[in-house]
Amino acid sequence: MRCGTASEARGRWRRLRLAALTLAWLASGGAGRARAQDECLLRVKAARVTVTDNQTVCQEAQNKTCVFQLQACLNQRDGTCAAAPMKRKVKAKGSCRALAKLQVKPDGTNPVCGAVVGVKVKTKRRGRREGSCRITIAARSSDKPARRDVEKLTLVCKPDPGDCPARVAVGSTTTTTLPCFAPCDCCVRPVTDLFGCVGR
């Protein structure tokens, strides 16, 4: 059997060391921090409130239909995430209708938002069951190495009043235009972003 040369042995050792360092980085939460540093590249807003990735947005039907007012924004930088240069127009994909209009054209590293688009979701079974659809939208920077931010959300149209999480009053004002969020969002979002709806 042929033994490897010294250079081959060094190459194998470097690959093993790199794999071990990568595993250690993932175990320490490095991947999570990297994602957090890219979260501002793309934001999706529902009724002007930013929704989080993999979030469900709930609305109650009017005439068996819900209209979600959505908007895509780029480079909404904050204290933990820096803006990145972009060149390609960002478009939404998925099973919802009218998604071709949910898009935003980048302006270098400047913050920019596309038009507010009404995305319709209909209930099912002649208005007796909820309807839903999923949206995926991704942004990729033009620098090297490229940064990427992907947002996914589910729109749910409930057939009956009260099916979405209840609205609450804040001070002397009762909010009526914010989307309803999944109860678990209370664990991860600032309270000021959640005053529209709370879990039951």
Query: In this structure, what CATH number is given to the domain that contains residue 113?
Result: 2.60.40
Same domain, 20 and 71: no
Same domain, 74 and 86: yes
Name which of 1-10, 105-114, 141-150 the model is least confident about: 1-10
Q: Could you tell me the residue range of the domain that residue 97 belongs to?
A: 38-159
Ramachandran angles phi, psi of 90, nearest 5°: -100, 125
Same domain, 95 and 68: yes
The pLDDT value given to residue 185: 40
Spatial CA neighbour of 44 closest among 59, 32, 58, 57: 57
Same domain, 14 and 51: no
Q: What are 47-52's contacts with CB under 8 Å, separation 24+?
A: 47/177, 47/178, 47/179, 47/196, 48/177, 49/178, 49/179, 49/193, 49/196, 50/76, 50/193, 51/151, 51/153, 51/179, 51/181, 52/185, 52/188, 52/189
Same domain, 81 and 128: yes
pLDDT digits over 73-114, tens only?
999 988 889 999 999 999 999 999 888 899 999 999 999 999
Averaged over 134-144, what is the pLDDT?
95
Average pLDDT, the chain: 78
Provide the percentage of residues in the chain whose pLDDT is more than 90. 55
Tell me which of 128, 144, 159 is where a domain ends: 159
Please determine, for residue 20, whether its predicted confidence score (pLDDT) is greater than 60: yes
Position 171 in a domain: no
Same domain, 30 and 101: no
- How many distinct structural domains can be found in the chain? 2
- Side-chain half-sphere CA neighbours of 53 within 13 A: 12
